[in-house]
Amino acid sequence: MDLTQLKTESPLILGFAESRIGGRSENQDSFDWADTPLGFLVTVCDGMGGGPGGKTASSIAVKEIIAGVMEADQQESPSNILIKAIRRANMAIINRGTEQPALQGMGSTCTVVLITPKSATVAHVGDSRVYQFRGNEKIFRTFDHSMVFELVKQKVITEEQARLSAQSNVITRALGIKPDVEVEVTERPFETGDRFLLCTDGIHGAVEEKHLIKLATNRKSNLGPVVDSIATDIDNIGHTTGGGHDNLTLAIVETKSNSTLKEKMNRKIKQILLIIGIICSVSIIANIYLTVKVAKFNNSNEGKLHTMCERLKNDSIQTAKLIQNIEKVNGDSAKVSKIINSQKRQQQ
């Protein structure tokens, strides 16, 4: 399928999608989008099952998910609306398989993003993924419901080992398998220029994640060519490594404004800020303590200095009086000497 612009009346987003058959005989992936009463909705699904089952399952999934959101009670939360819509799709796939025995056992993964002025609500089942990029960095990604990613969670293997594993396509959740499907939902804040990538494992399973991030966050080209270049790059890799590669489908939606929901600080940042706060508090207390001590020391020394000055002042006064007395005595002595000398001259 050629590059498709996700035409919308929403002022919140710009979007493009592309789906290719890869090296298979049939493309079992599906995608669709819609302006709903709640906001802009886009979904990408990867079907599975013999014969026409996979394509049928993914087609039912995208159709029923959109219908479920369009018909939902707008008073409900977006998270609940997406869960109900996906469960509706799940039952529709199961019911179709019951009606047509040739389709029994078919199933599908699903990824859904609903963008409103408040936030982006992300839901998924299976190993199709949703990424959120800001600038050139990945800030969010869904976690695959697969056997190998359970081992990643347990730190038994790395994500790259999971990608290369022969068991990488064994998923633990899918639509159409059982009535009580478990849907994982997350509400995400977004900023102007953020990109949400929805993709099947034919995309993220074909290359290292860092390479996919580099392609998806290319800001030198417009969004449409970015989407097309990802599909072309991965399709070429498949053909040059022997062909037979999986269907590949992706959609990228770029936001044009900030959500009203703001990013929460993660636990690590909170811990760092707490430590900084404690250090600042200790520093302030220490400074106050030292200031008080210095003030007391200065006040104490000031009192001593004042006492010393008073003593010196008193001593100076006493010294001056003593000098005056000495001078007076000297004056009196001179007078006495003068009288004596005068009497001696008279006697002569």
pTM here? 0.78
> In the numeric block, which tokens belong to residue 245?
């590669």
pLDDT for the residue numbered 19: 98
Q: How far apart are CA 106 and CA 175, in angstroms?
A: 9
Residue 121 corresponds to which amino acid? Answer: T
pLDDT for the residue numbered 326: 59
Q: How far apart are CA 74 and CA 112, in angstroms?
A: 17
Q: How far apart are CA 61 and CA 31, in angstroms?
A: 9
Residue 235 corresponds to which amino acid? Answer: D
Q: How far apart are CA 252 and CA 197, in angstroms?
A: 5
In the block, residue with structure tokens 């940042």: 269
* Angle of CA points 51, 125, 149, to nearest 5°: 100
> In the numeric block, which tokens belong to residue 332?
């009196």
- As a three-state string, the secondary structure of 230-259 is HHHHHHHHHHHCCCCCCCEEEEEEEECCCC
pLDDT for the residue numbered 270: 56
pLDDT for the residue numbered 317: 75
| Domain chopping of the chain, boundaries | 4-264, 265-348
> In the numeric block, which tokens belong to residue 286?
């220490």
- Main-chain phi, psi angles of 316, to 5 degrees: -65, -40
Residue 62: exposed, middle, or buried by beta-carbon count in 10 A (0-12, 13-18, 19+)? buried
Q: Of the candidates 242, 227, 239, 249, which has an alpha carbon nearest to the alpha carbon of residue 30?
A: 249
- What are the mean pLDDT values of the chain's consecutive 10-residue runs (348 residues total)? 94 98 96 98 95 94 99 97 99 97 95 99 99 99 97 96 94 97 99 99 97 98 98 97 95 98 69 66 68 59 65 68 66 60 54
- Domain 4-264 CATH (choose: 3.60.40.10, 3.30.1490.270, 1.10.10.10, 3.40.1440.10): 3.60.40.10
Q: How far apart are CA 98 and CA 69, in angstroms?
A: 25
Q: How far apart are CA 264 and CA 119, in angstroms?
A: 13
